[in-house]
Structure 1
Amino acid sequence: MRKEVLVTVRGTQTNDFGEQDTIELVTMGSYYLKNSSYYIVYNETELSGMEGTVTSVKAEADKVTVNRMGTSEMKHVFEEGVPDEGSYVTPFGQLFTSVFPRKVEVDLTDVGGSINLEYELALDRQRIGYNELCITVKEV
């Protein structure tokens, strides 16, 4: 089961002053099931600031792994209450990153569904805000 799907990625970041910034990306991608995990694969665009990057999302029942490869590289595992550290490599340099997942919801079936993540994000050990990420997948 590998199918072409419409992927909508909506990210909202709230800073310490309560100010919110939201971006939404709608693109075509691939969706498939492998070893009881769902995978979503799509190309980033200029809108996300990561043009030339492929994002792969592996969704398990209570854990989501986001892996980006290309002009920007990053990998984080989102498991409720379990901090994850890594690095974010961009054409401009590398940053140390940390995520502190507060909510991880996976509601996917063979025809699509959604992933909802809420987490604190830190760059170079400096907290930069609270993030909400919603990824939806629909058959076309």
Structure 2
Amino acid sequence: MKKEVLLALKGLQFAAAEEDARALETITPAEYYKRNDSHYIIYDEVMEDFSETVKNTIKIKGSQVEVTKKGFINVHMIFEQNKRNMTRYGTPYGDILIGIDTGDIRIIEDEDSIHVDVDYSLEANYEHMADCKLEMNISPREEMLEL
């Protein structure tokens, strides 16, 4: 795969009430490299109402996905099939203890792309917040631009 890629992210959170389901979709340019059997995708995230960007790194190795955010938001989330991981989600307003209880992870690698699906439950301060789905598509920039 080429170094310059497009990252298509789709997230969906299902809260207790149906009307509280929230979807997020974004496509952003990213940098890709592979080192020691791990795939790395690096991109900057601009968040509404903040001038500072957040540096994001996604690491995919085997059946594990890690997402690291650095900037005014700081977190290191680990998604491992059928495992629960706890981490601190640092925001400008204070830290939140979050739990990620990963159910299923599906990773499909092709010569020119990677597709990742993650199903997980999200907790904040030991309280269940939502059941979530995360979908990632990583492909060469020119391939996505043709769509």
**Same fold by TM-score, threshold 0.5 exceeded?**
yes
Q: Would you say how many aligned residue pairs link Structure 1 and Structure 2?
A: 139
Q: Show the 5 A alignment for 1:1-140.
A: 3-19=3-19, 20-46=21-47, 52-140=53-141
| Cα separation, partners in 2 of 1:50 and 1:114, compared to 1, 3 Å | farther
Shift in Å at residue 112 of structure 1?
A: 1.7
Unaligned runs of 5+ in 2: 142-147
Contact 1:27 1:42 in 2 (8 A): yes
Q: What is the CA RMSD across the aligned residues, in angstroms?
A: 1.8
- Alpha-carbon distance change, 127 to 50 in structure 1, aligned in 2, over 3 angstroms: farther
Give secondary structure in 1 for the equivalent of 2:3.
Answer: strand
Distance in 1 separating the partners of 2:121 and 2:14: 10
Cα deviation for residue 2 of structure 1 reads: 5.9
- Tell me the TM-score normalized by structure 2: 0.87
Q: Distance in 2 between matches of 1:114 and 1:50?
A: 31
Tell which deviates more after alignment, 102-111 or 77-86.
102-111
Q: Unmatched 5+ residue regions in structure 1?
A: none
**Offset of residue 51 of structure 1:** 5.5
